[in-house]
Amino acid sequence: MKGARSGKNDRNREGQKKKKYRSDGTPIWTKPTIEGPGIWATCPRGKERQTVGELYDLFESLSAEIWPPAEGEVGETEGPSTESANADDSDSDEDLSIEAQIAKEVAGIKKPAAEKRIQNCHTDTQCVVFMACRPPVEPVVLVMRHLKNVEMTGITRTRQTHRLLPVSGSCTANIPEIQALCRDAWAKYMTGRVNATSKYKIELRIRNHSTLTRMAIIQAVAECVPEGFSVDLNDPEVFVLVEVFKSTCGIGVVEDYYRLHKFNVGEVAKMCKARGEGQASMTRLGEAGGAEAAAGKVVEALAENAAEAKAPAEKNAGVQEEKVAEAQTEKILEAPAVETQGKKPAEDFGTGSAVL
């Protein structure tokens, strides 16, 4: 009897235990590794570490250009140079007691390091990287600046990165939090755009998530779109990027998503190079057309010169012909007078007078 009771008690205890894992397999006691605004990046399998390294360099450089670091922040010199700082410390330490010097050293050791602007969040998934962005960095602005640079120069500054998908924020993948995040993303997009109206489309990508259906997420996001925006699946102007990864959802509102090849950096660089080759071919055609036009002008000039040279000769020939014709005419006119001089005048038999 005791054994049966103990077995029932064990089963009851097991039923009363709290869940240790979420429905998507992530532990409940751990915080989500992906949170806040950031940039999703895709890369070839096995190249995740190289992708993280090159994105660190790229994003730190661009963020320093767009948002210059403040004093004491990463990228700026914290205080005076090392030599002068050591000299000042040595001078001041002479005036302090041993206890004060020790307290000063301990305070220097405990001084927190400045928080990085760009930070890698482990996804534990092949081909997928997430780079979290800390204020004042805006992921959408950062990615659009990089894509515009690639479009103009054709230089990607990366080797392994394929696509860059910015999200203005992240949340747990449930309907209420997704809708709250979507409203916040639209509010950031509408900043500075008064009474903006446009056509939009929802671009949803789901990875390693099976709790929410695709249609449920799309319906929840569509309910948060501001008034004046209409759905257009063929020719949209604004795109709502929704990235669902495991138990996390990220949302960003962007433009030119299709024109920039869905933010594929390599394809944007190819587009720039193709445009440059087209311009070069047009230049070559223009130069060839200019050469043909110049040759045509030369031929016309030669023809005009030949015509001008031929005109005096024709004029002289015409004068000579006129002179010959006049001479022949004079001969013809003189010929009857010569013949009448050798003839006798005719006699008028009736009157006996001569008729000339």
Is the pLDDT confidence value at 205 over 60? Answer: yes
Q: The tokens 């509010």 sit on which residue?
A: 187
Cβ neighbours of residue 237 closer than 8 Å, sequence gap 6 or more: 198, 199, 200, 255
| pTM above threshold 0.85 | no
pLDDT classification of 339: cutoffs 50, 70, 90: very low
pLDDT classification of 340: cutoffs 50, 70, 90: very low
Contact 209, 247 (CB under 8 A): yes
Is the pLDDT confidence value at 247 over 70? Answer: yes
Report the Cα 103 to chain-centroid distance in Å. Answer: 54
Alpha helix segments (H runs only) across the chain: 2-16, 48-66, 82-94, 98-110, 139-153, 175-190, 214-222, 265-341
pLDDT classification of 197: cutoffs 50, 70, 90: confident
Distances (CA, A) of 289 to 196, 282, 285, 295, 299: 47, 10, 6, 10, 15
Residue 152 structure tokens: 């103009």
Q: Any idea how long the chain is?
A: 356
pLDDT value of residue 238: 96
Burial 129-139 (b: 16+ CB within 10 A, else e): bbbbbeeebbb
* Cα(180)–Cα(223) distance, integer angstroms: 11
CATH 3.30.70 fits 32-69+114-167, yes or no: yes
Tens digits of residue pLDDT in 57-83: 999 999 999 999 876 554 443 444 444
Burial of 330 (0-12, 13-18, 19+ CB in 10 A): exposed
Sketch the domain layout of the chain as residue ranges. Answer: 32-69+114-167, 171-263
* Cα(254)–Cα(237) distance, integer angstroms: 9
pLDDT value of residue 176: 96
Residue 127 structure tokens: 């081909």
Q: The tokens 């103009």 sit on which residue?
A: 152
Residue 349 structure tokens: 């038999």
* Cα(21)–Cα(27) distance, integer angstroms: 4
Neighbours of 116 (CB within 10 A): 14
Smallest CA-to-CA distance from 44 within 178, 149, 162, 200 is with 162
DSSP-derived pairing of the beta strands 238-245 and 164-167: unpaired
Q: Do the domains 32-69+114-167 and 171-263 sit in the same CATH topology, yes or no?
A: no
Tens digits of residue pLDDT in 6-30: 555 555 555 555 566 655 455 555 5
Is the pLDDT confidence value at 162 over 70? Answer: yes
pLDDT value of residue 99: 76
Coil/strand/helix, residue 30: coil
Indicate the class that CATH gives domain 171-263.
alpha beta
Smallest CA-to-CA distance from 34 within 130, 113, 107 is with 130
* Cα(216)–Cα(230) distance, integer angstroms: 19
Distances (CA, A) of 30 to 15, 58, 285: 22, 30, 65
